[in-house]
């Protein structure tokens, strides 16, 4: 039986790259999305529509594709706000999308016994989990909360042999980045390290492949940045 990956956020750039990377390495991928638009399935890729936070959430849709040897959470939401203009309702929506979603889905997978023996779990967080930038209050707080999620889960999951880690991507070279940031902003980020470029999607996917593989025998509760050293770089 092929190893099976469940990836949440299947329509996003990182989730899509994860799906393709795992497929190329012989995995069967189940991509979960909250969108109801039908998507083409293949022998190694299945799409499911699943919203764990919906009032009528159908958790049984996961049963039909289990057991899962690895799970990657690559879904989430973003918002620009600051302490001057934060809106409580929008703040809570970001928390639900970036944090509560992970808590609920992992709880469902455990309660329904849908994880394979010694499954590996990987959360795609962000470098903004540990550093801050302007006008990112709610987003940064939600990502910081994932640190508590991963650390706590790593302790609790040890009894069943499950490993869980987080990848912290930097500002990745994606079409969305090119649309959302102005050229001077991108240049400033590229110039923050002597690599003079943005990290790429495969910097994230290659790391996820290792963390979810049998080669990873004891790494858990860790936060590994894929940012070309941006968090720690100081060009002087």
Q: Which helix (H) or strand (E) covers residue 93, if one does?
A: helix 88-95
CATH number at 121 reads 3.40.50.720
- Per residue in 202-224, pLDDT (tens digit) is 999 999 999 999 999 999 999 99
Q: Which domain holds residue 23?
A: 4-172+200-229
The pTM (predicted TM-score) of the whole model is 0.94
Please check whether residue 157 lies inside any domain of the structure.
Answer: yes
Please check whether residue 40 lies inside any domain of the structure.
Answer: yes
Distances in Å between the alpha carbon of 74 and those of 1, 97, 185? Answer: 25, 11, 24
- Per residue in 99-137, pLDDT (tens digit) is 999 999 999 999 999 999 999 999 999 999 999 989 999
How many domains are contained in the chain? 1
Please check whether residue 191 lies inside any domain of the structure.
Answer: no
Taking each helix axis as running N to C, give the angle between helix 137-157 and helix 101-111, from 0 to 180 degrees, rounded to the nearest 10.
20
Please check whether residue 190 lies inside any domain of the structure.
Answer: no
Please check whether residue 192 lies inside any domain of the structure.
Answer: no
Distances in Å between the alpha carbon of 66 and those of 30, 62, 153? Answer: 9, 7, 21
């Amino acid at each position: 039986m092929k190893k099976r990956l469940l990836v949440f956020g299947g329509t996003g750039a990182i989730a899509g790259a994860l799906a393709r990377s795992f497929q190329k390495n012989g995995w069967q991928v189940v991509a979960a999305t909250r969108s109801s638009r039908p998507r083409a399935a293949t022998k190694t890729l299945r799409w499911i529509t699943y919203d764990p936070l919906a009032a009528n959430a159908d958790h049984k849709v996961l049963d039909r594709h289990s057991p899962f040897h690895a799970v990657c959470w690559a879904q989430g939401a973003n918002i620009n706000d600051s302490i001057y203009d934060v809106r409580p309702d929008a703040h809570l929506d970001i928390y639900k999308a970036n944090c509560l979603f992970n808590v609920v889905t992992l709880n469902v997978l455990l309660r329904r016994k849908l994880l394979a023996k010694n499954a590996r779990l990987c959360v795609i967080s962000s470098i903004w989990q540990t550093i801050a930038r302007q006008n990112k209050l709610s987003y940064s707080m939600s990502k910081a909360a994932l640190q508590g999620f991963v650390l706590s889960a790593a302790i609790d999951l040890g009894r069943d042999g499950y490993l869980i880690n987080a990848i912290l991507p930097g500002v990745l070279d994606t079409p969305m980045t090119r649309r959302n940031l102005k050229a001077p902003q991108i240049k400033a980020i590229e110039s923050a390290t002597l690599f003079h470029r943005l990290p790429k999607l495969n910097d994230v996917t290659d790391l996820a492949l290792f963390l979810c593989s049998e080669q990873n025998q004891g790494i858990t509760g860790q936060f590994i940045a894929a940012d070309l050293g941006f968090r720690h770089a100081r060009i002087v």
